[in-house]
Amino acid sequence: MSFTIADLKKGERGIITDISSDAIPLKLLEMGCLPGNVVELIQVAPFSDPMYLDINGSHLAIRKETAELILIEKTLDE
């Protein structure tokens, strides 16, 4: 079963395993949204959009539709 960043609940972490680079804005890639990096969901805005994330120490907000394109492997160290 594959998960995406959009599947994370507040406080959960995952490791990015794959991205759909054609649909991901270059700015996210430059900010560390790359395979192998750890992502943690910090906060979700009302109506679940945008999502506020910590990716290897960088804090950024992304739209839920973009988060659904980034595959992760959930980690158990919560």
- Reported as a single tens digit per residue, the pLDDT across 68-78 is 999 999 887 64
What is the identity of the amino acid at 76?
Answer: L
Six-digit token string for 33: 């949204």
How many domains does the chain divide into? Answer: 1
Average pLDDT rounded to a whole number, residues 23-41:
88
Structural domain harbouring 50: 3-74
Asked if pLDDT for residue 40 goes beyond 90, the answer is yes
What is the model's pLDDT at position 41? Answer: 96
- Global pTM value: 0.85
CATH number of the domain within which 13 lies: 2.30.30.90
- Per-residue pLDDT for 27 more than 70? yes
* Predicted pLDDT of residue 28: 86
Quote the pLDDT of residue 12.
95
Pair 60, 31: CB distance under 8 Å: yes
